[in-house]
């Protein structure tokens, strides 16, 4: 019998959800943006308070405050179901992606909240994706003080026609509180160069920001003090059982680039829908070219260890 979820009105909750069998959920910036904009749209329409979100390759963390446990459950069910539906539709896939139940833990006092803030923000540091928490795009910390932390400054009057059209489309959708989906993102970015694509990504993130950065930094003397605390203390979490994987996630980004270069025109996330014999062949190819464990290959290709061992 599943334990009753602990919840206390007014308390910040640390929420954690992981994919089934730890498989990867994100294979490119489009996947992150679709997830993020769906999350932001649902957060806005629910009226909940979001302090922090960190999207990793096979799981995500949220610091959130809701008025009731039912509101929390409804929010989680709505945005995760929406993302899985869109992800599956984009590659002709069927089935679940996320574990049925998410983990959550209320944080009783300011010290516990600060510890959770550090822990969530430092997830990419622990997985060796960056040296400092604010250097990771998908925990959104850098967007509290910059419109374009990961791209060159954007001046719309000097932007290309293709980029200006894309920016207007983003503005319209954000104003209507509608998310961006894979097909639209592909169409919007197909005429952009790499610099413009990075500008578009940062612009989308900024337009959809659902975070209460003022509340987040209120647990410290300032936002800068919070970042300093993150640099010196990675935080910890003992109230949620998180499956720990010791390997760095950096190799997944290398494999994503390899697929993009070796199979031009193929959406990287489509590797998860290959025939089993093609997955086995690709697993051997990846193992030859990268210092990667078979467990990581299984995560990447959505296959079981028995298939390749």
H or E stretch at 105: strand 103-107
pLDDT in the model for residue 1:
44
**Taken in order 68, 82, 183, 31, is the CA torsion positive or negative?**
positive
pLDDT in the model for residue 305:
84
Condensed to tens digits (0 to 9), the pLDDT of residues 138-155 reads: 999 999 999 999 999 999
8 Å CB contact between 103 and 242? yes
Residue 264 φ then ψ, to 5°: -60, 140
**Separation between Cα atoms, residue 306 and residue 298, nearest integer Å:** 10
Domain 1-244 has CATH 3.30.420.40: no
* SS3 call for 15: strand
Residue intervals in the chain for CATH 3.30.70.1290? 1-244
Name which of 206, 231, 234 is nearest 150 in CA terms: 206
In the chain (309 residues long), the average pLDDT of successive 10-residue segments reads: 67 95 96 99 96 98 95 96 97 93 91 95 95 98 97 96 98 98 96 98 99 97 96 85 83 96 92 95 95 94 84
pLDDT in the model for residue 190:
95
Condensed to tens digits (0 to 9), the pLDDT of residues 156-178 reads: 999 999 999 999 999 999 999 99
Question: DSSP label at 211?
Answer: B
Q: Write down the pTM of the prediction.
A: 0.95
First vs last C-alpha separation in the chain: 35
Bridge partner list, 62 = 15, 53
């Amino acid at each position: 019998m599943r334990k009753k979820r602990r919840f206390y009105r007014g308390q910040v909750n640390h929420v954690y959800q992981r994919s089934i069998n730890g498989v990867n959920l994100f294979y490119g910036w489009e996947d992150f943006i679709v997830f993020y904009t769906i999350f932001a749209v649902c957060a806005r329409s629910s009226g909940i308070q979001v302090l922090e979100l960190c999207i990793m390759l096979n799981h995500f963390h949220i610091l959130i405050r809701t008025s009731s446990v039912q509101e929390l459950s409804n929010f989680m069910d709505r945005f995760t179901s929406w993302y899985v539906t869109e992800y599956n539709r984009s590659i002709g896939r069927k089935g679940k992606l996320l574990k049925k139940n998410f983990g959550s833990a209320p944080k009783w006092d300011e010290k516990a909240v600060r510890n959770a803030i550090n822990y969530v923000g430092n997830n990419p540091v622990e997985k060796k994706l960056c040296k400092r928490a604010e250097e990771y795009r998908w925990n959104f910390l850098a967007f509290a003080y910059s419109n374009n932390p990961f791209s060159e400054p954007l001046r719309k009057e000097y932007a290309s026609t293709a980029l200006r059209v894309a920016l207007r489309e983003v503005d319209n959708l954000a104003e209507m509180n509608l998310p961006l989906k894979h097909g639209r993102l592909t169409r919007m970015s197909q005429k952009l160069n790499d610099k413009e694509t990075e500008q578009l990504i940062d612009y989308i993130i900024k337009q959809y920001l659902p975070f209460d950065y003022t509340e987040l930094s209120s647990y410290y003397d300032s936002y800068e003090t919070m970042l300093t605390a993150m640099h010196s203390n990675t935080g910890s979490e003992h109230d949620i059982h998180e499956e720990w994987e010791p390997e760095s996630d950096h190799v997944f980004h290398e494999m994503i680039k390899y697929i993009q270069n070796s199979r031009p025109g193929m959406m990287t996330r489509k590797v998860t829908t290959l025939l089993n014999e093609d997955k086995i062949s690709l697993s051997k190819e990846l193992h030859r070219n990268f210092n990667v464990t078979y467990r990581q290959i299984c995560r990447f290709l959505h296959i079981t260890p028995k298939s390749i061992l």
